[in-house]
Chain A
Amino acid sequence: MFEFLFKYPREDYARSELIFVGHWSAWVLVVIAIIAVIGISVFLYRRHSFVRGYQLAAIWMLQIAMLSLVVWVLAQPTLSTERLRAGENTVALVLDVSESMVFGDAESRFQQALRSLSGVVQADAALNLSVRHYELGETATAVTSFLESQATATSTSIADSLGIVLREARFSPLAAVVLSSDGADTSGGLSVDELAAIAAFGVPVHTVAVGRTAIPEDIEITDITLPDKVLPGSTLSARVSIRHDAPASTQVKVYAGDDLLALVPVELRADAGITTARVEFEIAEAGHHRIHFSVDSVPGETELRNNSRSTLVEVANQKYRILYFEGEPRWEYKFLRRAIGNDDDLQVVSLLRVSPNKFYRQGIDTPEQLESGFPTTREELFAYDALIIGSVEAASLSAEQQVLIRDFVSERGGSLLMIAGPNGLGNGGWGQSEIADVLPLSLPPSSIPSFFRKKASVELTPQGADAQMLRFADTLDANRLSWSELPNVADYQVTGSLKPAAVTLLNVDTDIGQMPLLVTHPFGRGHAWILASGGTWRWQMSLPLEDQRHETFWRQLLRALVASSPQGVSLTAGGGSGDSNIVLRAEFRDEEFRPVDDIGVTAQVSHEDGESWSVNLQASAADPGVFTAEIDPTESGTWYFEAVAHRNDEAVATARASIHYDSGQAEYFNIRRDSAQLRALSEATGGQYLEPQDLDMLPDLLRYSSSGITEQEYRAIWDAPAIFILLLMLKAGEWLLRRRWSTI
């Protein structure tokens, strides 16, 4: 209808500019219009004695409107449209040939894409576009045609591929890029920076999306969250994310080699696109362990390769050191030490003020260690991974020592645990100390007694129920029950309000209500914790000898303290997901944990089969003491890295890391069509996102592309039927009114 009334489609009006091309100049038309208005007005005024005022006004308006329309037609309104010049432009057709394009039903994604692109050129033969063909995979490859193309690329990088296409065509009249793809990008997706870089070429990218956005008959493991380094005997808690489009039942299995470590049934709910299952298992032996996760297939599932993933875990024989500073002999001190006495991975070095003039040291390595009391230098304090402060007044440490503690958490990345006591927390004046900001809770002033020797029960918070470090049982319900059956703690201490990022893991029920018992929050590079009771020892004394909950609590709590503690020299291998490169990040700090920059860093890269080479790591401009490199792994398997820091040709520090890498597996994951990514690409470049049923829009999109060599097309619209119909309606309206008022 629009096209009938106005001669051209609505889109033509949207992309065109309205201009006037009449031969009469504008002032002539204005003069004619003024004379006509005056003439009409005088003529009608002379008849005012025969008609009423409002009738006269209506007739006047209709005649003026008709006059305006006539003047507008005389000005010859015309659409000015920019369109490609025939025979002088190029279009780049980009076909996704990654393996994920093999998926499909009766017709594969690849066949759909091929068909959509083949129709592009024939759509407007008059335009005579020259066509360039590209296959898109990890990179773009120019081909003469798609006749021999096959979906065999083992990875997809849309950003890298389009970058190549656009750079190649930079000096040719490229009108548009037409990309037909499922949008599944194994390089991690298009970042904002990558989109901006593609848009900067000024060439619209039209995307033709193929494939289904939902595949109810398929489930896949999208992600596994697991620490890459643990202490021997630790219970590992893995989070396995399973993508699904329909409700189903499955089970997650965890293997180390042929050994089944865990099996957890999982219900996939209809209203959840991704279900995360928590699986817990133990690895006792030190060394690198390849952990294999798999989920059972659902009925009708054909793609089973995305039902499993592997990752590497290093069980390290590292000994973590914890300094425990206590101001008075007490049972909590004794039973804490006993609880972790048999843990070979934790060394608790304690400094206990037994009498007003004597400190008693336990767990020391040398007679000189802590001989002068609490550390006074960064080097001495930062040698520990965590610090526990018990029932001791803040005033027992100098301001410099308190600043050291603050730096220990914020700069060294150590953990600080403050335990309640008659001289601890608020009673000890820590709320007004240099480390008050470090703590996850505000503390009352020392003038207000806050420590009470009254028994109180402990309760898990929702966050605590989810915390691995507070697990006594395999299931959440059993764990909650286990906590609810614990004997009361012997005492508690009242604290203040929570800091913004603080998380309460345990609460204590007291005479005056419920209050936080175990709280933590991050501070700088480290974490601070508060345990508002010095009476968990009652769990040990009140429960049967075989009950290990007290020991487990302290072992897991102390392990949580040290788990996030960075080492002075560290190397991490990240990335490698999909087919992206492995990123090596080495950090070197001295004994005071100050960044070391006057070194060169080389990494030896080794594959499990023996292939080996070395790379130089580059110093990071943003992070002092950090050196990085990207490694392009040549094959699947376990990769080992050893970074060596050199100064004056002398090795000064060494760090090791490892990662498991699966090459060629990426295309089997994320197989659902990523419409959002393709839409974002089109919108960023000024192109159009299309689905196969929208392909008839493509010829027009190409014809009027803003890129390439264009010309102006002028199309008159003064003769559009709508104008004459309007003229007729205005005149007919006047005639009808006059007849009704009997003024004819």
Chain B
Amino acid sequence: MPKAFRKAFNVLCIAAMFTAVTVWGQANAPDKQAPARAAREAPGEFQFVRLAYAPSQYCGRGYGRQQMWRTDYPDADHHFVRGVDRLTRIAAAEQPRILTPMDNDIYDFPWIYAVEVGYWDLNEKEAGRMREYLLRGGFLMVDDFHGSCEWSAFVASMSKVFPDRPIIEIPESDEAFHVIYDLDQRIQIPSRMFIYSGVTWEKDGYEPHWRGIYDSDGRLMVAINFNMDIGDAWEHADWPDYPENMTALAYRFGINYLVYAMTH
């Protein structure tokens, strides 16, 4: 056997051996999708659902960053669910979940969280789906968007969802602020950058606003947390430097919205 041929044969054998090992390894590797599949069975009454939306042309300055809906994911989601489990009687599923507006499963989860909605861009179909979802009884909590530009971007999509429903400041007396906790304090909940800068606002969003959209029976459907970052407060609940009072307040807002959604 020529030497070159023997060399080629050895290379082939080694390659075949690697291939076999790789295939065997893949076949016996832990199923990375298994948790997701298990989560679909919704082992709790409440499952944290994060809305995955398409990005927008950010404030007219070209396309925004991709996947802004992932902001604070997954720690914020996990931390909040544990808070719900600890502080309420709600049977909460451990695993969070991600759904797009057009996902058919969205109707099985009447509470949904959307973050950085200054970047979202719902098309007409998605807006129609969100309108149907909310009017059937779904609840949307939006968070972590700041300043007039992001507000405009948010409203641009939201007005497709509800062209005829105004966005108003949630009154102090609204049950959403009292259903479990009496949330009389209106403190701007900052992002983690506050630790370094000492500044609670971002862009030109100096004043926090708790706004909402109501249905025809006076029930809050969309809780709009503008100029604040509740998600960051959840995410950094375990950071020693992040203010504990901000995290506590963020939990309280989130839990109040959730219990409100489950009672109204």
Contacts and interface: CB of A to CB of B under 8 A. Distances in A.
Interface in B231-264: 258-259, 261-264
A721 B135 CA distance: 104
B132 A544 contact: yes
Nearest to A352: B263
Interface string A530-546: 00000001101111110
B262 A330 contact: yes
B180 A360 contact: yes
Contacts of B42: 453, 490
Given A341-B217, A353-B89, A355-B180, A329 B108 contact: no
Interface in A416-463: 422, 453-454
A338 B91 contact: no
A329 B262 contact: yes
A542 B105 CA distance: 9
Interface string A647-659: 0000000000000
A330 B136 CA distance: 16
A110 interface: no
A335 B137 CA distance: 8
A650 to B, nearest CB: 44
B123 interface: no
B263 A337 contact: yes
B89 A453 contact: no
A331 B89 contact: no
Secondary structure dominating the interface of B: loop
Contact of A330 (B87, B90, B132, B180): B90
B101 interface: no
B179 interface: yes
A421 to B, nearest CB: 9
Interface in A287-332: 327-331
Contacts of A352: 263
A331 B260 CA distance: 11
Interface in A334-354: 334-335, 337-338, 341-342, 352-354
A356 B108 contact: no
Contacts of A355: 87-89, 180
Contact count band on B: 20 to 34
Contact of A334 (B43, B87, B88, B264): B264
B90 A328 contact: yes
A353 B262 CA distance: 12
Contacts of B132: 544-545
A52 interface: no
Nearest to B44: A453
A324 B235 CA distance: 36
Interface in B92-145: 107-108, 110, 132, 135-138
Contacts of B180: 354-355, 358, 360
B89 A540 contact: no
B49 to A, nearest CB: 13
A567 B110 CA distance: 38
B86 to A, nearest CB: 10
B138 A354 contact: no
A545 B137 CA distance: 9
A337 B217 CA distance: 12
Interface in A541-557: 541-545
A333 interface: yes
Contact of A360 (B41, B43, B179): B179
Contacts of B262: 329-331, 333-334
B107 A360 contact: no
B45 interface: yes
A338 B263 CA distance: 9
A358 B178 CA distance: 12
B89 A356 contact: yes
A489 B81 CA distance: 24
A541 B262 CA distance: 13
Given A453-B41, A541-B136, A354 B108 contact: no
Interface in B175-193: 179-180
Contacts of B110: 331, 334, 537, 541
Contacts of B259: 329, 354, 360
Given A330-B91, A334-B110, A353-B89, 15 more contacts: A328-B89, A329-B89, A333-B263, A334-B262, A334-B263, A334-B264, A337-B263, A354-B179, A354-B180, A355-B180, A360-B179, A360-B259, A422-B45, A422-B91, A541-B138
Q: What 9 A-B pairs are tightest by C-beta distance, nearest first?
A: A329-B262, A328-B89, A541-B107, A330-B45, A355-B88, A329-B90, A334-B262, A545-B135, A542-B107
13 contacts: A328-B45, A329-B88, A329-B263, A333-B263, A338-B219, A338-B264, A342-B217, A354-B89, A360-B180, A362-B263, A454-B41, A537-B110, A542-B108
